[in-house]
Amino acid sequence: MRQSATSRVAIVFVHGIFGDAIGTWTHSNGSKLFDLVNAVPGIAGQADMLAFGFPSFMFRSGSFDIREAANRLHLRLDYHGVLNYPKIVFVAHSMGGLVVLRELLAHDDVRSRVPVVVFFATPQEGANITLIAQHILPNSALAQMTPADHNELLQTLSDDWNTIPNENRPRIRCAYEKLPTHGVMIVPWASATRFCEQAPPPIAADHIGIVKADGAGHDTVAVVATALREYVFNRALEPRLETPDFRIEGDQSVLDLTDPTGRQRARLVNAGGSSLRFTLAETSDPKLYLWPDDTPKLLAANSTLNMHIALGIGARAKEYRFVIRTDELPERRVVVRVPDVAALEKQQLLLLRSVSREVDTLLSDPAQIQRLRRAPADDVEGPAAVIRAARNAVVRISPELPDSASWVLTAEVLHASNWPGLAARALTEAEKVSASTSQMPAVRRLAAETASLSGIANIFSTTPTPMLAADDVAGLSDRNFLVAASGIESTMQLASRMQQAPSLKAFGLSLQGDAQQAAGNVEAARQSFQTAAMIRPTPSVSRRLQRAGGLKPVVINPAPANPAITPAAGTMERTPQR
C-alpha cells in the first residue's frame, strides 16, 4: 500500500480466487503491476496505490465467498480512509471484479466516486473451470462463478447493474485472456467482456498470467494506464465550478441578498466534463438557511443547480458567511451581503401578512368553521388546517422552493407568531420530506427554540431535538411578528375567529393577548394569556403571562363583602341567605 497526504486519487487492486494482495500482481522477475502503473508518465505520483486481499485457498477451508469479500473490501476502504478520496479506481482480476461490482451496487456513495473500473478476465457470465473444480475444491466462491444461465448471483449482479442509469455508472474497461490454463480457457471472451465498453483487447497470457506484467511495455500496463488517462487524468473531464450570481471580491465570493424568503436564485454551475461533489458548510449565523439541505451532493457535468437562500424571521445582520467545499477544487468562501436590512424585514412582514390572510380565509369558510366548532378541543385537524394554510401562503410567495424548505419557512412564520406548537409540527413535516433537513444549523436553532417554548421535546424522528438552556430561553424575544405585519385590528379579528374552534381556542387567545399587549392593554393581555394557559399550557404562554403580571384568581359573580362569602378553588360563590 502506498498513500500520500496530497493525492486525490486512489487506485485499489483487488485479486481473484486463489490469489492474494501481492502475489497476484507480481511477475516472476519481481515486477509488480501497481509499481509499473505508478511509473507511467502523466500518472506517476498522482495516485495512491492500494492492494486489497481476502482469504482464498485452493486446498483448505476458510475462503471468503463474493459477499464476504465485498463486505471486507468496504471495511478496509473505510478503515484506510479510501472513502475520503475524491476519486477511486478499482483494478480487478478474475473474481475480484465480481467483488467490486457487489461493492459498487451496495454503496451508492462509493460508486459516485468511481470514474472507471478495469476488469482483467472477470467472469461476468461465469467461468468454465468451476464446472469441474467446484466438485473437488473446498472454496465456496467457486459455486458463485458457474455459468450465468444457472447462476442466481451473477444474474442478480447483472440485473442490478443494468438498472443504474448510464450517467450514474462508472465506465468499465476490460481485457481477456488469450491462452488456456492447464488446457482450459477459464474465462472465455464472452464472459470477460459482458459489461465492457469499447473493444476489449486480448492479453497474450493465461488466466493467472494476465495481470503479471513483466515490464512497462506490457499490454496489461497499457490497459490500466489508458483507462486512467481517459477517465481520471484528463483535463477535459475535470469539473469546473462557476457561480454567475456571485461577484468576486478579493479571495471571497459575494452575493447581494435582496429577498429573504428563498425566491432569489444563486446558481451553481458545473461547466466541466465530470461530476462535482459539493458541500455547503460553515454557516456563520443560525438564522441563515441554505438549500439544498442534503449536501454533500453531486452536481453532474455541464449542469446547473439553483441554490436557495433565506433568513429567519427577525434576522438583522448585514452579512452572513458560508463555504462551498468540493472534493476537486479549492473551497469558496461566500459572503451573503444585505444591502438594505429594513427592506428585507418589510418583505418578511409581507409574508406574515399573507399567512394571516390565508388563515383568516380558511376560518371564514362557513363549512370549515362549522366542522371545527363541532370538533373536540384535542382535535388534530384544526391545527393541521392552520399549518397547511400557512404553508400555502409560503408556497404562493416562493413557489420554487424545495418542499422541505417551504415547510421550514412555514415553521419560521408560525414560530414568529408565538405558536411554537404549530411550528414544531411544521418542522416534523419538513423532516418527513427530507431527513437531512433536521441537520441544518438554522433548522436546529429553530427546533431548539420551538421545543423549548412549546414543551414538545421530540420534534424529529431521525435525530435528537436540541433544547435551549434556561438562560438562552429567557433571552428570546416575545415579539409577535404576525401582529406587526397585520395590524392590531386584523389580528384581533383573526384571533376571534380562531377562538370559535375548540382545538384552536388557545392559539387564538395567545394571538389576542399579543395584540392587546401591542395596543398597550396589559391587563386584557394578561387575562387572555391566563385563559390560554388554562386550556393549553406551554412555556411560551406561561412566560408571556408572567411578564404581563402573572396568574391571578378568576373572579366569578363578584358580590359585596359578606362574612358568609368564602373562596374556593380560585372562585367566589354566594351562599344562600337565611
Residue-wise pLDDT tens digits, 382-401: 999 999 999 999 999 999 99
Q: Is cis: bond before 115, omega within 30 of 0?
A: no
pLDDT band at 575 (very low <50, low <70, confident <90, very high): very low
Lowest-pLDDT range of 31-35, 61-65, 110-114, 497-501: 61-65
Q: Write the pLDDT tens digit of every residue in 193-207.
A: 888 888 899 999 999
pLDDT number for residue 186: 82
The pLDDT, as a whole number, for residue 185 is 83
pLDDT (tens digit per residue) in 408-461: 999 999 999 999 999 999 999 999 999 999 999 999 999 999 999 999 999 999
Lowest mean pLDDT among 62-66, 74-78, 329-333: 62-66
Report the pLDDT value the prediction gives residue 321, as an integer from 0 to 100. Answer: 97
* Mean pLDDT of the 498-520 span: 97
**530-555 pLDDT tens trace:** 999 999 999 999 999 999 999 887 65
Is the predicted pLDDT of residue 562 greater than 80, yes or no? no
Q: Would you tell me how many other CB atoms lie within 10 Å of the CB of residue 273?
A: 14
Degrees (nearest 5) of the Cα angle 543, 546, 547? Answer: 90
C-alpha cell at 16: 481473484
The grid coordinates of residue 353 equal 401578512
Residue 376 is predicted with a pLDDT of: 95
126 vs 286, which has greater pLDDT?
286
Q: Which pLDDT does position 557 carry in this prediction? A: 54
374 closest CA partner among 497, 500, 535? 500
Q: Is the dihedral of CA 221, 226, 228, 229 positive or negative?
A: positive
Average pLDDT over residues 157-171: 83
Question: What pLDDT sits at residue 215?
Answer: 95
Averaged over 222-234, what is the pLDDT? 94
pLDDT in tens, 89-117: 999 998 899 999 999 999 999 998 999 99
Query: Residue 59 pLDDT more than 60?
Result: no
pLDDT at 314 over 80: yes
CA 297/CA 268 separation, integer angstroms: 12
Domains and their CATH numbers in the chain: 9-233 (3.40.50.1820), 241-339 (2.60.40.10), 342-547 (no CATH)
Q: How much of the chain, in percent, has pLDDT values that exceed 90?
A: 72
CA-nearest of 391, 388, 386 to 510 is: 386
How does the average pLDDT of the chain come out, rounded?
88
Mean pLDDT of 117-132: 70
| Rounded mean pLDDT, 67-94 | 93
- Determine the Cα–Cα distance for residues 553 and 565; give it in Å rounded to an integer: 15
Instruction: Enter the pTM of the model.
Output: 0.75
Amino acid at position 181, single letter: T
Confidence of residue 189 (pLDDT cuts 50, 70, 90): confident
pLDDT reading at 564 higher than 80: no
pLDDT reading at 288 higher than 60:
yes
Q: Which of 397, 396, 387, 395 is nearest to 425 (CA)?
A: 387
Residue 380 contacts residue 445 (beta carbons within 8 Å): no
What pLDDT score does 555 carry? 56
pLDDT value of position 132: 42
pLDDT band, very low/low/confident/very high, at 223 (cuts 50, 70, 90): very high
pLDDT bracket for residue 578 (50, 70, 90): very low
Minimum mean pLDDT range among 231-240, 503-512, 518-527: 231-240
- What is the rounded radius of gyration, in angstroms, for the C-alpha atoms of the chain? 34
Please calculate the CA angle 363-368-369 and round it to the nearest 5 degrees.
Answer: 60
Quick one: which H or E segment has residue 269?
strand 261-270
| Residues comprising the chain, all counted | 578
- Confidence (pLDDT) at 372: 93
pLDDT at 6: 66
